[in-house]
Amino acid sequence: MDDRNVGQLPMDDRVILRVGTKILIPFILLFALYVQFHGDFGPGGGFQAGVIFAAAFVLYALVFGLDQALKAMPMKVAVLCGAMGVVIYVGVGFLAMAMGGEFLNYSVLVYDPVKGQHYGIIGIEVGVLVTVFGVMLSLFYAFAGRRRIDP
């Protein structure tokens, strides 16, 4: 077990695992989006959805190897997502300021304060999703990309 690297373990001969993973991943991504947009009505929200979205790519990396996962979702994109989510969140706040309200006061975003609250919350939840997804995935890449220090 010692000489194996979690991120770079090739599983070319494990057909059931590879096919099963390929079938599962779209459903994991879809479930993440469900958790994201159903967060207004039930448990869930940006944070949980971001983690689940990242988990799909982590699963892909574990089964098909880190190189394949980096092709599908490069490190740069993951890090950029981690930063862009904060920008989206703060952007919603400044948008509210530009529309004449206070920072993060969603009531002024559209004509109806109640609708504005709803849209504002959807906006910031997207920001949380993007940040958490990017951070979780780049953390995984950072850990999995390292080799053993002592042979």
Partner 1 sequence: MDWIGAVTMVLFVVLAVTGVAVIRTRNLFGAVMLAGIYSLVSAVLFVVMDAVDVAFTEAAVGAGISTVLLLGTLSIVGYKEKKPEHQPILPFFVVLVTGGILIYGTSDIPPFGEALNPAHQHEMVSRYYLDRSYDDSHIPNVVTTVLGSYRGYDTMGETVVVFAAMVGVLLLLVKGPLPKRVHYHGRWHKVPPGTTRDELLAELRAKDGNAGGSNG
- Least distance from partner 1 to the Cβ atom of residue 77, Å: 13
Using the Cα atoms of residue 67, residue 71, residue 77 and residue 82 in order, give the sign of their dihedral: negative
**HSE-CB for 72 with a 13 A CA cutoff:** 16
- Note whether 56 and 28 are within 8 A (CB): yes
Give yes or no for residue 151 binding partner 1 (CB under 8 A).
Answer: no
Give yes or no for residue 36 binding partner 1 (CB under 8 A).
Answer: no
- Least distance from partner 1 to the Cβ atom of residue 102, Å: 10
Pattern of binders to partner 1 over 70-99, x per CB under 8 A? -----x---x--xx-xx--xx--x------
Figure out which of the listed residues 24, 34, 47, 95 binds partner 1, where binding follows CB under 8 A.
47
User: Tokens 């910031």 — which residue?
Assistant: 124
Give yes or no for residue 146 binding partner 1 (CB under 8 A).
Answer: yes
Q: How far apart are CA 151 and CA 5, in angstroms?
A: 12
Give yes or no for residue 17 binding partner 1 (CB under 8 A).
Answer: no
Give yes or no for residue 148 binding partner 1 (CB under 8 A).
Answer: yes
Figure out which of the listed residues 21, 52, 60, 63 binds partner 1, where binding follows CB under 8 A.
52
Give yes or no for residue 41 binding partner 1 (CB under 8 A).
Answer: yes
Residue ranges in contact with partner 1 by CB under 8 A: 1-2, 4-7, 35, 39-45, 47-48, 51-52, 54-55, 58, 62, 75, 79, 82-83, 85-86, 89-90, 93, 104, 106, 113-115, 117-118, 120-121, 124-125, 127-128, 131-132, 134-136, 138-140, 142-149
